[in-house]
C-alpha cells in the first residue's frame, strides 16, 4: 500500500487575495470499510460542517495595468505540502504549508491570465488555461525546477520558458481553453483541447508530439493510479455533472482511430435539480483513495426588483476504489459533508 495524503489544500479568493485552507481528509474515511457503493448511498447530504479558517493569505504585488488575471497557487509533485504562488506582477514564491514558511523566491515568471499546472517528479509545469502565441515576452508554458546546492543541501528554484504547443501556430487559431491534462509515463505532459486534440510534451527532450485527434475525456487534471493501470479524473460530461471516471490512455493511443473508452463511471453524490453545479475537483490521495470536492449554488430568493439571491456551498466526499473477486473495479463511498460558503468567496482550486 502506497503512502496516503492526509491533507488537501483549498484555495479561495476574496477581494483580490488568495486564502489557503487545509482540509483533513481522514474525517471523510471510515475505519471500517463501508458496504460497496449502491444508489442508496447517493442520498442527499444533510450533515453540515464549517470550513477551517485560512492558514495563510496571499496578496498580489502591484501589477501592470494590462494585467487582468488572478493569483495562482499550484502544487509541486512529490512535495505535497510545497506550493508555488504567482501573481500578475510576475512575482513567484515557494510556500511550505507544513511549516507555514516562505522558502524562496523563483526567477520571475511570465504573466498568465489563468495559470494551471501539472506536477512532474519534483518539478512543476505550468501553462495558461487559454494559451496564446508568445509575444512581447509573454510565454504560455514554463517549468519551475529545484536546483540543489550540493555544498549546503539547500534548494533554490528557477523558471524556464518552454516551447508552446504546436496548435497555437495553426492557421486561424484563436485561444481556446485547455480542457484536460495529465502525466503519462512519468515524464510526458499531455494536454487536450476540443478542436486540436491531444498533444504530449516530453520533459526530457523538451519537444512536442501529437498523440491523437481526439481530446482526453476529462475535465481538468487526471492522475495515473499504478495499482489499476488506469487514469482517473472527473468526466468532461457536463450533462452527467462530471462523474468520476477511469480511462486506459495507453490502450486509446494504441488504437487512435477509436478514441478513449471510459472503462468505469461513478457518481458518488445524488445532486438535486435545485443544486446548480459550479465547479468540481478530484484529488488522488494514494492507495486508491480519492477526495471529491463539488461546489454548488441554489436559488433561494427572487426579489421584487427581479434580482436573485443564491446560497453557495460545497460537498466534500471520500471514496475508495477496489477490485472485486472477478477483477472488476468498484467504488466504495465513505462519507460526505456539506460546507456553506460566504457569498463573496470564490473557490479557485482544491489541490
The yes-or-no verdict on residue 155 having pLDDT over 90 is: no
Could you report the per-residue pLDDT of 187-228, keeping only the tens digit for each? 999 999 998 999 999 999 999 999 999 999 999 999 999 999
Cell of 308: 436573485
Task: Give pLDDT tens digits for 254-291.
Answer: 887 778 989 899 999 988 999 999 999 999 999 999 99
pLDDT at residue 63, as a whole number:
61
pLDDT grade for 181, boundaries at 50, 70 and 90:
very high
Residue 40 has pLDDT above 60, yes or no: no
Task: Of 75, 58, 74, 76, give the one whose Cα is nearest residue 146.
Answer: 76
Domains in the chain (CATH in brackets) are 7-350 (2.120.10)
Q: What is the pLDDT of residues 302-347, one digit of tens each?
A: 777 777 778 999 999 999 999 999 999 999 999 999 999 988 888 8
Task: Answer yes or no: is pLDDT of 175 > 90.
Answer: no
What is the percentage of the chain residues whose pLDDT exceeds 90?
Answer: 51
**Other C-beta atoms within 10 Å of 81: how many?**
15
Q: H helices of 238-323, where? A: 249-254
Higher pLDDT, 140 or 20: 20
pTM above 0.75? Answer: yes
β-pairing verdict for 262-266 and 92-96: unpaired
How many residues does the structure list for the chain? 351
Which range among 119-128, 148-157, 170-179, 292-301 shows the weakest confidence by mean pLDDT? 148-157
The predicted structure's pLDDT at residue 136: 46
pLDDT (mean) for 34-62: 75
Amino acid at each position: 500500500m502506497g503512502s496516503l495524503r492526509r491533507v488537501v489544500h483549498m484555495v479561495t479568493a476574496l477581494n483580490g487575495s488568495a486564502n489557503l485552507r487545509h482540509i483533513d481528509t481522514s474525517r471523510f474515511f471510515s475505519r471500517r470499510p463501508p458496504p460497496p457503493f449502491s444508489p442508496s448511498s447517493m442520498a442527499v447530504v444533510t450533515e453540515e460542517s464549517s470550513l477551517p479558517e485560512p492558514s495563510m493569505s496571499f496578496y498580489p504585488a502591484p501589477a501592470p495595468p494590462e494585467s487582468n488575471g488572478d493569483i495562482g497557487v499550484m502544487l509541486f509533485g512529490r512535495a505535497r505540502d510545497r506550493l508555488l504562488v504567482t501573481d500578475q506582477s510576475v512575482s513567484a514564491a515557494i510556500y511550505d504549508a507544513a511549516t507555514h514558511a516562505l522558502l524562496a523566491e523563483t526567477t520571475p515568471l511570465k504573466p498568465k491570465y489563468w495559470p494551471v499546472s501539472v506536477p512532474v517528479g519534483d518539478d512543476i509545469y505550468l501553462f495558461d488555461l487559454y494559451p496564446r502565441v508568445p509575444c512581447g515576452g509573454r510565454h504560455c508554458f514554463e517549468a519551475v525546477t529545484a536546483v540543489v546546492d550540493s555544498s549546503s543541501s539547500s534548494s533554490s528554484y528557477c523558471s524556464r520558458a518552454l516551447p508552446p504547443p504546436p496548435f497555437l501556430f495553426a492557421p486561424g487559431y484563436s485561444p481556446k481553453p485547455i480542457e484536460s491534462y495529465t502525466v503519462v509515463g512519468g515524464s510526458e505532459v499531455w494536454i487536450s483541447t476540443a478542436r486540436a486534440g491531444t498533444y504530449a510534451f516530453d520533459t526530457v527532450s523538451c519537444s512536442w508530439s501529437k498523440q491523437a485527434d481526439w481530446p482526453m475525456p476529462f475535465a481538468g487534471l487526471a492522475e495515473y493510479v499504478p495499482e489499476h493501470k488506469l487514469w482517473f479524473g472527473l468526466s468532461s460530461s457536463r450533462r452527467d455533472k462530471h462523474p468520476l471516471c477511469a480511462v486506459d490512455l495507453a490502450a486509446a493511443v494504441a488504437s487512435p482511430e477509436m478514441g478513449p473508452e471510459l472503462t468505469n463511471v461513478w457518481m458518488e453524490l445524488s445532486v438535486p435539480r435545485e443544486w446548480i453545479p459550479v465547479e468540481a475537483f478530484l484529488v488522488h490521495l494514494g492507495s486508491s483513495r480519492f477526495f471529491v470536492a463539488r461546489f454548488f449554488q441554489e436559488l433561494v430568493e427572487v426579489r421584487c426588483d427581479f434580482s436573485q439571491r443564491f446560497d453557495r456551498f460545497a460537498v466534500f466526499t471520500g471514496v475508495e476504489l477496489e477490485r472485486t473477486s472477478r477483477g472488476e473495479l468498484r467504488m466504495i463511498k465513505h462519507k460526505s459533508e456539506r460546507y456553506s460558503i460566504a457569498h463573496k468567496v470564490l473557490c479557485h482550486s482544491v489541490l
